[in-house]
Structure 1
Amino acid sequence: MKKAYLMTGTLIVAMGAASLAMAHGGKERGGERGQMRGAAMFEAMDTNGDGKLTQAEIDAYKAKRFSEADADGDGFLSPEEMAAQGEKKNDERRAKRATRMIERLDANEDGKLSAEELDARGPGNLIEKADKDGDGAVTLEELREARMDMRDKRGKGWKKRGDN
């Protein structure tokens, strides 16, 4: 059982390294945001700041990540510790996303968003933009089409699930 926890912990660390590799693989493999996350991870691992990663730096980073997840310090990751680590990362991402959103939308710069600030910057009248058949209502398909139209207009080239 302990071996399974150790293997799972190793897998978590490997997944982090894989996400770094994917982020550096170009827009088709994570896009601009993935590249930014990859760059931040690279900087975190490049402890001497020379712009290069050595095996020692990678090993130290992996050991640090494992140690952070191993809350009870027993050298193994339990399912609870792994779940807690995942929640911590999710919470950090949500907090960063919320901060960026407030920075972008906070018209009066009070550090908070009012309903008016959200409405002023939002997608506008959804019915007006998405109602293709003019019946005054939006179907799920019309909403999906409008969403894809907005993505295409932004030039991001996002695909629907299942598209290759």
Structure 2
Amino acid sequence: MRTIRSALLGTALAAVALPALAQPTPPPPGGPPGMFARIDANGDGRITQEEGWSFVQARFAEADRNKDGALALEEATSARLMPPPPAAGAPPAPPPREMGPMQARIVAMMFRAADANRDGRVTLDEVRPLAEARFRAIDANGDNGITMDELPLRPHHHHRGPHHGAHGDRPEAPPPAR
């Protein structure tokens, strides 16, 4: 649960490039409190829209490798593979995992959705409405701030395995004894 809360926070507020919009980045060092603390600039336990936007701008600048003020799909994809730098004193992040074909497809889809003028590049002006919409969606009580308890929880997924029946709800009967 801690990992998904980190991922959702990262997805919501680090909407920086689309990679984050499409799939969560690896969990940050320190889990949700570590990510939350990095975004909560004044340390009051509440992330304002201004703090969130400052974080998005910083992540965008990191992803914009050629410093042209826009992200190409390749920069957005690469940014998805690089977790944000750790907070001061935090252990280094684990090495990034390669993006699978489905994740790459989702990143490309989100990139196209964010590219409002369809020029093949995404700017901060195109990212801002998306980041603001995500902020509003997570700000459950509408007080213009996000606290840890407002972060959505991941629904439980039941995995079917060799011990579950066709409907995944009960174990299969053992084979008859011979």
Asked if these proteins are the same fold (TM beyond 0.5), I'd say: no
Whose helix fraction is larger, Structure 1's or Structure 2's? 1
Of structures 1 and 2, the one with the larger relative CO (CA 8 A, separation 6+) is 2
With normalisation by structure 2, the TM-score equals 0.36
Q: Based on CA coordinates, which of the two structures has the bigger radius of gyration?
A: 1
With normalisation by structure 1, the TM-score equals 0.39
